[in-house]
């Protein structure tokens, strides 16, 4: 395995793109149909998910909460395993924020702290807020956050909210290794000084 290419990469987190000469809105409306596939990323190298969450792109309204899930599968279209299901709203009583300045704010604490304010209502989630999942639960349930080369990382809008009013874009930050040419599912074009299959 070549670790010279190791590092971190953001997967997802895209609010808009462009296709066929037209802009494409990549934001997920919270009332979107349950079990909607948002993104599949196929790992070309060993990868470990270190962070998962969403960025709120439209203020949330009060309603039944939506759920965004991070999953993995051995192949595209294969059996999926949930790494983490993140509930977006006040029924997730484990959501809390700090008291430091957000973008454009000047009234935050001089010495900001984490975990100062618990979520009280769905409407607490505003445009520009970032919601991180607790991935320690994945380890507690023996679900590995590591993807082998060829495995698939999946973002899914698992549960629709009770109505309109709110949108998000999901993201994951993964730690990557380099390519592992010793695997039976990894092919490489050999150099012109080598003979294919000669080990």
What residues does each domain of the chain span?
A: 3-101+111-176
| Residue 42 neighbours by CB under 8 Å, 6+ apart | 76, 150, 151, 152, 153
Checking if the pLDDT of 5 tops 70, the result is no
pLDDT value of position 6: 64
Residue carrying the six token digits 């709120």: 56
DSSP string, 67-88: EEEEEEESSTTS-EEEEEEEEE
Could you please state the CATH topology (level 3) that the domain comprising 3-101+111-176 is classified under. Answer: Jelly Rolls (2.60.120)
Residue carrying the six token digits 């670790």: 3
Distances (CA, A) of 58 to 25, 35, 126, 128: 13, 21, 7, 8
149-161 pLDDT, tens digit each: 999 999 999 999 9
**Is the distance from CB of 15 to CB of 57 less than 8 angstroms?**
yes
User: In this structure, what token pair is assigned to residue 100?
Assistant: 């430091």
pLDDT value of position 108: 77
* Across 14-24, average pLDDT: 89
Query: Residue 198 — very low, low, confident or very high, per pLDDT cuts 50/70/90?
Result: confident
Distances (CA, A) of 117 to 95, 114, 120: 9, 9, 9
């Amino acid at each position: 395995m070549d670790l010279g290419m190791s590092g971190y990469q953001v997967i997802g987190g895209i609010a808009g793109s462009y296709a066929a000469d037209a802009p494409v809105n990549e934001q997920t409306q919270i009332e979107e149909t349950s079990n909607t596939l948002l993104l599949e990323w196929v790992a070309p190298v060993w990868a470990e998910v270190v962070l998962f969450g969403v960025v709120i792109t439209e203020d949330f309204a009060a309603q039944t909460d939506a759920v965004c899930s991070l999953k993995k599968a051995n192949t595209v279209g294969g059996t999926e395993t949930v790494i983490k299901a993140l509930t977006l709203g006040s029924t997730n009583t484990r959501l809390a924020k700090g008291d430091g300045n957000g973008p454009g704010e000047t009234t935050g604490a001089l010495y900001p702290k984490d975990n100062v304010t618990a979520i009280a209502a769905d409407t607490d989630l505003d445009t520009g807020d970032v919601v991180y999942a607790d991935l320690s639960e994945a380890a507690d349930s023996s679900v590995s956050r590591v993807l082998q080369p060829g495995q698939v990382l999946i973002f899914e809008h698992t549960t629709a909210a009770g109505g309109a009013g709110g949108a998000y874009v999901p993201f994951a930050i993964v730690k990557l290794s380099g390519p592992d040419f010793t695997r039976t599912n990894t092919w490489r074009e050999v150099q012109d000084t080598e003979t294919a299959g000669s080990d």
